[in-house]
Amino acid sequence: MAEIKIAAEARTEFGKGAARRIRRADNVPAVLYGHGSEPVHVTLPGHQLMLALKNSNALLTIDLGTEQHLAIPKQIQRDPIKGFIDHADLLIVKKGEKVTVDVRIHVVGEAISGNLVITENNTIAVEAEATHIPESFEVSVEGFDAGDQIHARDIVLPSGSTLAVDEDLLIVNITAAPTAEQLEAELAEAEAEAGIEHEATDAEEAEAEADAEGSPEGDAAESTPDE
């Protein structure tokens, strides 16, 4: 993965008011930490940081003028409505150092018709060199049938990377699609558990009346005794 260089400024003002002023200037307050050093508080250009973070597990070179820090995103806080980056925690790393990161999984291909492809885990944790973190893993379900599965051990890792999870972790599961009857039965069961009752339709009421009229009890109720 190529390094992405971002020019930063040291941050000397703190608190909510200072953070709001930084964001109004289209910048992002951030903290660099790691390797037992004191946290480094910086201000990063918002647009440039947003573009950099479109790369999964981006490797950033934070340029402070007199010094540079190699870092990876650790925690990104975003505005829940607008999606803008509010704050960034960046982990300082060294070349040759190994780090544990979550890597996204992309499912490609088509399973056999009539089956459902269920992604049980969208990411997988791996240990990799800080300067060679995989951007994503691609797994194919082409031609898969019900009962087929993909586990963590089935993912091909690049050289220098190892699994940081149980190799039996289920990633993708192929199951048979439910029939219309099964879906109706599940819906009826869920409604019964929720206490939902439906009013009978005109057709259902007419059918119930016809059944009642044709039953022995109905005949006995409607007949009159001989005089």
Q: For the segment 133-149, what is each residue's pLDDT rounded down to a tens digit?
A: 988 999 999 999 999 99
For the chain, what is the mean pLDDT? 85
pLDDT at 206 over 70: no
In a domain, 224, yes or no: no
In a domain, 28, yes or no: yes
In a domain, 221, yes or no: no
In a domain, 227, yes or no: no
Query: Which of 35-39, 59-63, 167-171 has the lowest average pLDDT?
Result: 35-39
Express each pLDDT in 69-109 by its tens digit.
999 998 899 988 888 899 999 999 988 899 999 999 999 99
In a domain, 40, yes or no: yes
pLDDT at 227 over 50: no
In a domain, 163, yes or no: yes
Question: Structural domain of residue 48, as residue ranges?
Answer: 3-93
Q: Is the same domain home to 89 and 9?
A: yes
pTM of the model: 0.69
In a domain, 220, yes or no: no
Range among 80-89, 120-129, 202-211 with highest mean pLDDT value: 120-129
How many domains is the chain built from? 3
Q: Which residue has the higher pLDDT, 178 or 9?
A: 9
Instruction: Taking residues 163-170, report their average pLDDT.
Output: 96
In a domain, 43, yes or no: yes
Secondary structure of the chain in HEC code, one letter for each residue: CCEEEEECEECCCCCHHHHHHHHHCCEEEEEEEECCEEEEEEEEEHHHHHHHCCCCCCEEEEECCCCEEEEEEEEEEECCCCCCEEEEEEEECCCCCEEEEEEEEEEECCCCCCEEEEECCCEEEEEEECCCCCCEEEEECCCCCCCCEEEHHHCCCCCCCEECCCCCCEEEEEEECCCHHHHHHHHHHHHHHHCCCCCCCHHHHHHHHHHHHHCHHHHHHHCCCCC
